[in-house]
């Protein structure tokens, strides 16, 4: 019998992404952020999450996608990482899906740039692809 994993899903620029539920600390609406001078362009700012300072990464910039439309507030998927919690800023939260491990396929050759390094696999759903993010690689930012 095939093993399964649960994924917290979200949308980004019309694409459907997932991260393993076990890596997710919580999902939040837009939070006020404090800008960080001289930080990487992908770091949108810092969020105070009940006294815990969390770095917020704009996933659109990290994946080299176009910027969010003006006035559209991002949602937060807070990921647990070895260095502490990190928030991934996404367009919209999806649902939790349970997927069989043997259904995970290699990313298509059409994926280019940073996304190629950060997407560890895809699931073919009826109406779209579910792109699975490698959270460890995603939160380890390249040097500015």
The structure tokens listed for 108 are: 């298509």
pLDDT bin (cut points 50, 70, 90) of residue 142 is low
User: What's the CATH number for 4-139?
Assistant: 2.40.50.180
DSSP, collapsed to helix, strand or coil, labels residue 122 as: strand
The pLDDT tens digits of the residues spanning 123-133 come to 999 999 999 99
The yes-or-no verdict on residue 46 having pLDDT over 80 is yes
Q: In what order do the strands lie in the sheet with 84-90?
A: 24-28, 75-81, 84-90, 52-58, 43-49
Domains of the chain, residue spans: 4-139
Task: Report, as an integer, the average pLDDT of 81-107.
Answer: 93
Total-model pTM: 0.92
């Amino acid at each position: 019998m095939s093993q399964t994993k649960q994924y917290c899903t979200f949308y980004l620029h019309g694409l459907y992404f997932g991260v393993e539920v076990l890596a997710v600390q919580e999902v939040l609406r837009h939070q006020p952020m404090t800008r960080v001078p001289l930080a990487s362009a992908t770091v949108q700012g810092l969020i105070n999450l009940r006294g815990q300072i969390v770095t917020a990464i704009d996933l659109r910039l990290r994946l080299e996608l176009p910027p969010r439309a003006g006035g559209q507030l991002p949602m937060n998927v807070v990921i647990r990482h070895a260095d502490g919690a990190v928030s991934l800023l996404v367009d919209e939260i999806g649902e939790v899906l349970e997927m069989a491990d043997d259904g995970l396929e290699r990313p298509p050759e059409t994926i280019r740039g940073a996304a190629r390094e950060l997407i560890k696999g895809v699931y073919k759903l009826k109406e779209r692809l579910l792109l699975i993010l490698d959270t460890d690689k995603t939160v380890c930012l390249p040097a500015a």
